[in-house]
């Protein structure tokens, strides 16, 4: 009797911990059931993957989807649709919504809003504030929680924890890895006049300069060391931060974004204006080269998109009244596949950054590896496909991308989530996203 699967991917080039090679993938009950030569097997459904690379599902561990409160920019349906179209199988969403996600009720509200509407799997961060410090240890253990997020410098929204004493208390409350936006609020305030006087987005990396980022990361590492608490430093942008982070690998993990690896100051501000404005800023070539060196040296753990949609009207306000942030969840993979084709990183390293990395950093249960027993989250890509990224392709409600007009080689063809085909050749299926589970907070069996 031959083996049967719910779904069989035939003849794709599988990229996983064993290397890269042609293999079939058998899926049963939403999980990977077999990898290898399954020519004799039968399946309810089959997908011809010949000519495609089969990657473990891409996990974007930093997005802002704006629901509740700012749905004119994005909501959980449009944001996750953009994710699935871009080959992303799971997203972790940030707490700077309106209201900010700072209580168990608000976290449960996001989970119930996402259920039945999300096109990919999801988890939500809880925002650290002065009012919920004592509860963070409990909040971070709730189902669907990706962990605690700290904003050390103010960005979009009103979540902010700037002083060492409050930070130390937060780091002493709870035990999971804490994700942190590192910009020094005091220095941001001192230097704001530079942005006001220039009234030009080219001043953005002057106002929010290297020292602003370095000081915050340096302070965080000292406080995390004192507390014995693991931290994840989001969207790292400077050569100097990478040096101290490389010396703190026992404690700290590192995220970089495709934008910081791809766009450069000052040219990005000259061509894109305020569309290129994000926090921390896009910086000069010296820093971009340092990011690539750190990525190759293994100092970078994950690529996150920091998808932060704002409408074109909002972005058209004169700098610095224009909001910071750009969409990115849908373009993360095509932009990075193009870097692979340009020889800037290997496909194996990309998979390490987008699947194994997030699984390791956040302790995701049953995802992040293309291996038997894991969730059947798979991203199928055509490495040879040449396409142009355009605003019209963007499913985010904001309707634009900083990469409009960019020609890329490498494109997501299908997104499989727990064995169902969430996206095939640009067509989305019904939303079936579920909460991601984490190893440190698995519920006890009854």
List residues with catalytic annotation: 306
Minimum gap (Å) between residue 234 Cβ and ligand DOR: 8
* Letter string b/e over residues 361-391, b meaning 16 or more CB atoms within 10 A of that residue's CB: bbbbbbbbbbeeebbbbbbbbbeebeeebee
> Alpha-carbon Rg of the chain, whole angstroms?
21
Q: Which of residues 278-297 bind ligand DOR (CB under 6 A)?
A: 278-279
Among 132, 259, 262, 324, binds ligand DOR (CB under 6 A): 324
Nearest-angstrom CA–CA distance, 132 and 389: 42
Name residues whose C-beta falls within 8 Å of residue 356's C-beta, 6 or more positions apart in sequence. 17, 56, 368, 369
Site string for ligand DOR, 9-48 (x = CB under 6 A): ----------------------------------------
Binding mask 250-279 for ligand DOR (x = CB under 6 A): ----------------------------xx
Residue from 308, 408, 421, 435 binding ligand DOR (CB under 6 A): 308
Backbone angles phi, psi at 414, to 5 degrees: -150, 150
Q: Residue 332 or 416: which CB sits closer to ligand DOR?
A: 332
The reply to whether 155 sits near ligand DOR by the rule CB under 6 A is yes
Smallest gap, in angstroms, from Cβ of residue 74 to ligand DOR?
Answer: 10
Contact criterion met (CB below 8 Å) for 378 and 56? yes
Question: Which residue in 156, 257, 354, 415 binds ligand DOR (CB under 6 A)?
Answer: 156
Site string (52-91) toward ligand DOR, x via CB under 6 A: ------------x---------------------------
Pick between residue 280 and residue 433 the one whose CB is nearest to ligand DOR: 280
Name the minimum Å distance from CB 156 to ligand DOR.
Answer: 3
**Which residue of 113, 181, 418, 434 would you call a contact of ligand DOR, by CB under 6 A?**
181
Phi, psi of 8 (to 5 degrees): -125, 125
Q: Between residues 24 and 306, which has the closer beta carbon with respect to ligand DOR?
A: 306
Write the DSSP assignment of 417-429 as a string of letters. ETTEEEEETTEE-
Considering the complex, state which of residue 159 and residue 170 has its C-beta at the smaller distance from ligand DOR.
159
Do 428 and 422 touch, CB atoms closer than 8 A?
A: yes
Cβ of residue 63: shortest distance to ligand DOR, in angstroms?
Answer: 9
* Local structure of 389: helix, strand or coil: coil
Strands (E), 270-428: 302-303, 378-388, 407-417, 420-424, 427-428
Residue 96 binds ligand DOR (CB under 6 A): yes
Residue 114 tokens, joined: 């996402």
Q: Which residue is nearest to ligand DOR (CB)?
A: 325
Write down the least CB distance from residue 94 to ligand DOR, Å: 6
Nearer to ligand DOR, 139 or 278 (CB): 278
CB-based contact 438:432 (threshold 8 Å): no
Token duo for residue 84: 């699935």
Tell me which residues in 125-144 interact with ligand DOR (CB under 6 A). none
Determine if 212 is a binding residue for ligand DOR (CB under 6 A).
no
Q: Does 97 bind ligand DOR (CB under 6 A)?
A: no
| Residues 205 and 176: beta-carbon distance below 8 Å | no
- Look up residue 235 and give its two tokens: 């969207």
Minimum gap (Å) between residue 50 Cβ and ligand DOR: 41
- Tokens standing for 328? 């990115």
* Beta strands 378-388 and 407-417, pairing class: antiparallel
Are 57 and 367 in contact by the 8 Å Cβ rule? The answer is yes
Position of tokens 């990469």?
A: 403
Minimum distance from CB of 279 to ligand DOR (Å)?
4
In the complex, the residues that contact ligand DOR under the rule CB under 6 A are 64, 96, 155-156, 181, 278-279, 308, 324-325
């Amino acid at each position: 009797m031959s083996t049967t699967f719910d779904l069989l991917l035939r003849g794709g080039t599988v990229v996983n911990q064993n290397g890269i090679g042609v293999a079939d993938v058998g899926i049963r009950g939403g999980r990977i059931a077999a990898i290898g030569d399954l020519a004799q097997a039968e399946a309810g459904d089959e997908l011809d993957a010949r000519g495609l690379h089969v990657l473990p599902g891409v996990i974007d561990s930093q997005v802002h989807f704006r629901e509740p409160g700012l749905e004119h920019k994005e909501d959980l349906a449009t944001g996750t649709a953009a994710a699935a179209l871009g080959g992303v199988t799971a997203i972790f969403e940030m707490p700077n919504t309106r209201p900010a996600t700072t209580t168990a009720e608000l976290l449960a509200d996001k989970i119930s809003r996402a259920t039945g509407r999300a096109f990919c799997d999801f988890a939500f961060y809880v925002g650290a504030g002065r009012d919920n410090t004592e509860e963070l240890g409990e909040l971070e253990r709730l189902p669907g929680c990706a962990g605690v997020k700290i904003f050390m410098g103010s960005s979009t929204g009103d979540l902010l924890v700037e002083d060492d004493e409050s930070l130390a208390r937060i780091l002493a409350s709870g035990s999971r890895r804490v994700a942190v936006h590192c910009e020094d609020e005091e220095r941001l305030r001192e230097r704001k006049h530079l942005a006001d006087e220039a009234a030009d987005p080219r001043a953005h990396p002057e106002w929010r300069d290297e020292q602003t980022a370095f000081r915050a990361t340096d302070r965080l590492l000292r406080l995390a060391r004192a507390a014995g608490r693991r931290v994840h430093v989001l969207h790292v942008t400077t050569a100097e931060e990478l040096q101290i982070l490389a010396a703190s690998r026992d404690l700290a993990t590192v995220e970089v974004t495709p934008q910081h690896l791809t766009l450069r100051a000052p040219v990005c501000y000259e061509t894109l204006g305020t569309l290129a404005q994000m926090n921390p800023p896009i910086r000069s070539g010296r820093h971009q080269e340092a990011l690539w060196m750190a990525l190759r040296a293994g100092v970078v753990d994950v690529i996150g998109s920091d998808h932060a949609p704002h409408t074109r009207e909002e972005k058209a306000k004169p700098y610095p009244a224009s909001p910071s942030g750009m969409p990115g969840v849908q373009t993360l993979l095509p932009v990075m596949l193009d870097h692979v084709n340009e020889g800037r990183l290997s496909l194996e390293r990309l998979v390490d950054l987008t699947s194994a990395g997030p699984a390791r950093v956040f302790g995701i249960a049953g995802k992040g590896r293309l291996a038997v027993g894991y969730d059947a989250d798979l991203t199928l890509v055509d490495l040879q496909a040449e396409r142009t990224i355009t605003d019209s392709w963007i499913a985010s409600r904001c309707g634009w991308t900083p990469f409009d007009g960019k020609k890329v080689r490498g494109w997501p063809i299908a997104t499989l989530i727990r064995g169902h085909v969430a996206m095939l050749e640009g067509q989305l299926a019904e939303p079936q996203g579920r909460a991601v589970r984490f190893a440190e907070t698995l519920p006890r069996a009854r």
